[in-house]
Amino acid sequence: MKKLDNGQCVLRVVDRLDDASSAKSEVYVNGVKANGFVSGAILEMCVEIRGCYVVFSVDDNCFEGTLWIDLFDAQLKLKDSVNLTWIDAGSDFEFAGFGSQESILFKYFGRTYALKVWGEKKFRLPFVSDLAEIWKGFRFSSYLEVRLVKKP
């Protein structure tokens, strides 16, 4: 597990944020274009974990805090996504290190979260399994788990 340096992972905005949708960007890892777009216009960080890549990005909107987390496999195909959103709660993203059980720690909304990337999809109940600020869509399984570690 390692955090990629600037230049190893790059976002290229292809569609800007507007009233109806978030920005869309292409992802390049080590110069290779990923197969799939991510929401967001600003790259916060990219982490390589077990041959996969986790991309953290945000929109360029100071009035709404949305952190987009996208998982790409070793062939740079989009596997899973999750986002954390609070309306009227712009926030700064901060990498907080690596935790136990290969988790990625980060701060957002003034809270510390742990992201776990599973090797296989895990069962979940939409709207019940996750914190209120987390959105994974209406799916019954996911490779990504985000949990709250510490409130402010």
Is the pTM above the cut of 0.75?
A: yes
pLDDT tens digit sequence for 100-136: 878 999 998 888 999 999 877 775 555 555 555 665 5
Cα gap 129→90, rounded to integer Å: 25
Dihedral, CA of residue 9, residue 118, residue 142 and residue 130, to nearest 10: -100
Query: Does residue 143 contact residue 79 with C-beta atoms inside 8 Å?
Result: yes
pLDDT tens digit sequence for 59-100: 866 556 789 999 999 999 999 999 888 765 556 889 999 998
- Distances in Å between the Cα of 126 and the Cα atoms of 33, 86, 98 are 31, 18, 27
